[in-house]
């Protein structure tokens, strides 16, 4: 089927606060949900799964919370490597690696390299990712590639210089915790993505919720700016 699903995993803090716990506890539970979802996704016809882990705006949070999330990422990469290799899962990164703590950037680069030849599902970790930042970096990469010469920026040039140009645009973007906004996720790539908003907080999200989201997506009619076949027929018969 070749589906690309992106998930804005939101609501970890609210999950913890609702239980009188520290926000960091919510991130720990969120990690557990992420593991479950990755495990379930490849069996659901998903070829590309992009997880929004940390945005370019999330640096506004306390050093304690940011440090905790970075620690969890490193822990996740180590703990899940065996699962990735057994299931031929390729791990990739989207975002600005150069502005991450060096140890985190190194771990990500290592796992991306070590899973590069795997041909199963691809899991893209959007970490220090911002849609605007990605577009700006893409334009700068394009300009740097032709130094001294004039370049005309068009959609193809930008698309070819995104973080993962070979990955197809997302078909479905899920956001948990009931917020109706993109928060800078895949701005360029999501031009024709279908959105699915769930009120559930991310730590409560399960494989069954993912299945429900995909089922809802499969009922959508995507027109990409064109007209559907039924309205074509109606026009012909007029
Ligand atoms: C999502 O949960 C995780 C990250 C943004 C890193 P939040 O931490 O944003 O949780 P809420 O939105 O405060 O509930
Ligand atoms: C989006 O969630 C970023 C991630 C899930 C990593 P935020 O919690 O940062 O988004 P806002 O601040 O509610 O828009
Ligand atoms: Mg949030």
Domain ranges of the chain: 4-130+170-231
CA atoms in the 13 A half-sphere facing the CB of 137: 18
- CA-nearest residue for atom 13, ligand 1, is 13
**Distance, first Cα to last Cα, the chain:** 36
| Alpha carbon distance 21, 117 (integer Å) | 41
Q: Which atom of ligand 2 is nearest to the CA of 183?
A: 14
- CA-nearest residue for atom 10, ligand 2, is 183
- CA-nearest residue for atom 13, ligand 2, is 183
| Alpha carbon distance 64, 102 (integer Å) | 17
| Burial readout 79-96 (b: 16 or more C-beta within 10 A, e: otherwise) | ebbeebeeeebbbbbbbb
- Quick check: CB of 202 below 6 Å from ligand 2? no
**Residue 228 has what pLDDT?**
82
88 phi, psi to nearest 5 deg: 55, 35
**Residue 68 has what pLDDT?**
98
**Residue 231 has what pLDDT?**
61
Number of neighbours of residue 103 by Cβ within 10 angstroms: 11
Q: Closest ligand to 57 CA?
A: 2
**Residue 2 has what pLDDT?**
86
Expressed in angstroms and rounded, the spacing between residue 208 Cα and the centre of ligand 1 is: 21
Q: What's the pTM value of the predicted model, to 2 decimals?
A: 0.96
DSSP 166: T
Q: Does domain 4-130+170-231 have CATH number 3.40.1180.10?
A: yes
Per-residue tens of pLDDT for the chain, all 238 residues: 589 999 999 999 999 999 999 999 999 999 999 999 999 998 999 999 999 999 999 999 999 999 999 999 999 999 999 999 999 999 999 999 999 999 999 999 999 999 999 999 999 999 999 999 999 999 999 999 888 888 999 999 999 999 999 999 999 999 999 999 999 999 999 999 999 999 999 999 999 999 999 999 999 999 999 998 766 555 555 5
Q: Is 176 within 8 Å of 8 (Cβ atoms)?
A: yes
Q: Which residues are catalytic?
A: 10, 58
Pocket of ligand 1 (CB under 6 A): 9-14, 54, 58, 69, 177
């Amino acid at each position: 089927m070749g589906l690309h699903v992106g998930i804005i995993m939101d609501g970890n803090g609210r999950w913890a606060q609702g239980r009188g716990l520290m926000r960091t506890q919510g991130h720990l539970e969120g990690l557990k949900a992420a593991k479950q979802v990755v495990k379930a996704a490849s069996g659901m016809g998903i070829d590309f799964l992009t997880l929004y882990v940390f945005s370019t705006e999330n640096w506004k949070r306390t050093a304690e919370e940011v440090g905790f999330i970075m620690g969890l990422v490193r822990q996740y990469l180590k703990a899940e490597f065996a699962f990735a290799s057994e299931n031929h899962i390729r791990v990739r990164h989207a975002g600005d690696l150069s502005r991450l703590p060096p140890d985190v950037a190194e771990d990500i680069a290592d796992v991306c390299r070590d899973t590069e030849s795997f041909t199963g599902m691809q899991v893209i970790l959007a970490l220090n990712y911002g849609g605007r930042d990605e577009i700006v970096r893409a334009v700068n990469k394009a300009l740097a590639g032709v130094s001294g010469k004039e370049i005309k920026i068009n959609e193809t040039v930008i698309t070819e210089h995104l973080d993962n140009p070979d990955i197809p645009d997302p078909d479905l973007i899920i956001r948990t915790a009931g917020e109706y906004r993109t928060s800078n996720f895949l701005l360029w790539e999501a031009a024709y993505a279908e959105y699915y908003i769930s009120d559930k907080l991310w730590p409560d999200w399960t494989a069954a919720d993912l299945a429900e989201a995909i089922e809802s997506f499969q009922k959508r009619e995507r027109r990409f700016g064109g007209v559907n076949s039924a309205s074509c027929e109606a026009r012909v018969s007029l």
